[in-house]
Amino acid sequence: MCGRYTLTLSLEELFVRYGVNPSSPLDHQPRYNISPSQMVMTIINDGQSNRIGKLRWGLIPSWAKNHKNSIINVRAETMLEKFKVPTLRKRCLVPANSFFEWMTTVEGKQPMRIMLKSERVFSFAGIYDTWTTPDGQKTSGLAIVTTEPNPIVAEIHNRMPLILKPEDEVTWLNRDLQDPEVILSLVKPYDPKEMKAYPVSTIVGNVKNDSPDCIKELV
**Catalytically active residues, by annotation:** 2, 101
3-state secondary structure labels for all residues of 78-134: CHHHHCHHHHHHCEEEEEECEEEEEEEECCEEEEEEEEECCCCCEEEEEEEEEEECC
Report the C-alpha gap between 100 and 102 in whole angstroms: 7
Burial class (CB in 10 A: 0-12, 13-18, 19+), 50: middle
Sign of the CA dihedral running 16, 22, 25, 26: negative
**Counting beta carbons within 10 angstroms of the beta carbon of residue 98, is it exposed (0 to 12), middle (13 to 18) or buried (19 or more)?**
buried
| Rg (alpha carbons) of the chain, rounded to whole number | 17
What is the rounded distance in angstroms from the CA atom of residue 89 to the CA atom of residue 42?
16
